[in-house]
Structure 1
């Protein structure tokens, strides 16, 4: 549990970065800010980190309470990641939550940052990586999320619409490869 590995931290961090897709969410963040006023970057980042860390520890117990093993959840999670990757690569919308009515913690921290994809990914990653490395990766991602939230209008102007699209598609391909790896690593456990 307490074996710190920079390789694991980087891998998990990249996976979470791709799933959270904070850079690809800049247009949504800018739109929420324009509609509802100031974005509370600090609050959103801290709440999202807490949600993700709590789910990392409690999620597995919750699954066992409802009779689902981690391998089954990881395989299901690989399908969610697969479809998220397809959305990112192809620019299609297979699933989206309904429009938020305010720019408070609810649309930013949950579900935009710590949404269903993040939760599924955390439990899937927990079956392959050490918990301490996942927590460090979550915290590093939340620092990055905070920085992006704070400077989202500047980033949007700097990258432009095409730049954001290229970044989103590149991380979509990475996420697709990760989904395949999670599926292959956990599907054997279903038949044991």
Structure 2
């Protein structure tokens, strides 16, 4: 029995890690919080991980019921998530790099609510708790065994802690590899996010409209 639970835990962790991939989200986080001070950056990272964790908990416990009550389909969720991911990726590719220095120390005062908005979208959803992650959580927690449900929630909580640590280590990583290298990685990540967004949109549209 313990071996089966261990195998289940490993499978769930690898499944979540492959989809969320907190390491690949570091450039996104750095790009979005470049103008913030360290304290504000920690707040955004914590809120993003906490919100993502709460989303997964809710959908793990009552995902099918929520979809049923609001008449939501997974295909529609994929289409919406795809659009959001594409927009963020496009902004990372085409964004003005000088904005980091020009607006540093200014935006915190001009837009006090931007932090929580940023923590929700795009960091928490769809990057950390997107359609793929929600579907995976619902699938793993579909078992009638309550132990499996608890394991899914705890394992995603562990992944959220890993993501939080990765976000906070982002600045050190930039110093280690250099700003120019980080800029290249950010542009590449923006391209990858755009492609993922298009793929997510196409998959959702195909399911939504039954294209062949």
Q: TM-score range by the shorter chain?
A: 0.5 to 0.7
Residues 129, 26 of structure 1: CA spacing in aligned structure 2 closer, same or farther, 3 A cutoff?
same
Q: In the alignment, does 2:34 pair up with 1:22?
A: no
Alignment gaps of 5+ in structure 2: 1-7, 98-105, 142-151
Instruction: Report if aligned partners of 2:76, 2:204 keep a CA contact under 8 Å in 1.
Output: yes
Instruction: Report if aligned partners of 2:30, 2:170 keep a CA contact under 8 Å in 1.
Output: yes
Cα drift, residue 140 of structure 1 = 2.8
Instruction: Report if aligned partners of 1:86, 1:92 keep a CA contact under 8 Å in 2.
Output: no
Partner SS, residue 23 of structure 1:
helix
**Superposed CA RMSD:** 4.1
Q: How many residues align?
A: 177
Cα drift, residue 161 of structure 1 = 2.5
Instruction: Report if aligned partners of 2:17, 2:159 keep a CA contact under 8 Å in 1.
Output: no
Alignment gaps of 5+ in structure 1: none
Instruction: Report if aligned partners of 1:51, 1:114 keep a CA contact under 8 Å in 2.
Output: yes
Q: In the alignment, does 2:82 pair up with 1:78?
A: yes
Partner SS, residue 188 of structure 2:
helix
Q: TM-score, normalised by structure 2?
A: 0.60
Cα drift, residue 157 of structure 1 = 2.8
Q: In the alignment, does 2:133 pair up with 1:115?
A: no
Residues 120, 6 of structure 1: CA spacing in aligned structure 2 closer, same or farther, 3 A cutoff?
closer
Instruction: Report if aligned partners of 1:52, 1:138 keep a CA contact under 8 Å in 2.
Output: no
Q: In the alignment, does 2:207 pair up with 1:189?
A: yes
Cα drift, residue 33 of structure 1 = 2.0
Cα drift, residue 160 of structure 1 = 3.0
Residues 83, 153 of structure 1: CA spacing in aligned structure 2 closer, same or farther, 3 A cutoff?
closer
Q: In the alignment, does 2:15 pair up with 1:8?
A: yes
2:89 & 2:41 partners in 1: Cα distance? 28
Instruction: Report if aligned partners of 1:71, 1:127 keep a CA contact under 8 Å in 2.
Output: no
Q: Note the alpha carbon deviations across 1:105-163, whole angstroms, 9 max, x for none.
A: x82xx3444424532353411465344598646743542432442x4543333333212
Instruction: Report if aligned partners of 2:89, 2:190 keep a CA contact under 8 Å in 1.
Output: yes
